[in-house]
Amino acid sequence: MSIEGRELGWEDTIQNDSQDFEPIPEGDYNVTIEKFDRSRSSGSGKLPACNMAVVYFTVHAPEREISIRENYVLHTSLEWKLSELFCGVGLKKKGEELRMDWGLLPGKTARAKVGIREGSKDPSKKFNFIEKLYPKEDAKPKFTPGGF
């Protein structure tokens, strides 16, 4: 992956402000997991502070690729979301028990429903998020005789 520009020194001058991000339209897209980081949630609402995986997805939209970062809090009340992640990449079957092996995620592909939400600090800004990951067995196109 080629990135334009150069490394800045500690004493360099800067001028460019943030660029406006234009989200991709809501819909179903192919995604690839680029990496994950181990982190910790600070706890909020009914959840205590917990281990958390920060998963970085590349969304392959027809017009361009974007990155989406999703947090997966390791708490029993959010076990459904963890199952959805591992089912989405084909490492878990629905209803089966699985020991989470996070190291297997980078490079895995899935089919995702991507949504748009407002920014929490600035509601005029819109951001994409992974609304749902489809189970790998459901994500495959259905064969229709003579059809493409």
Distance of alpha carbon 100 from alpha carbon 112, whole angstroms: 20
Position 22: which residue type? E
Percent of the chain, pLDDT > 70?
Answer: 87
The one-character DSSP state at 10 is T
> Are 136 and 110 in contact, with CB atoms under 8 Å apart?
yes
Q: Which residues fall within 8 angstroms of residue 50, CB to CB, at 6 or more apart? A: 40, 41, 43, 73, 74, 75
**Cα 115 → chain centroid:** 11
pLDDT greater than 80 at residue 145: no
The 10s digit of each residue's pLDDT in 14-45 is 877 665 678 999 999 999 999 999 999 998 88
Measure CA 117 to chain center: 14
Q: Using pLDDT thresholds of 50, 70 and 90, give the confidence band for residue 5.
A: confident
| pTM: predicted TM-score of the whole model, two decimal places | 0.80
pLDDT of residue 6: 84
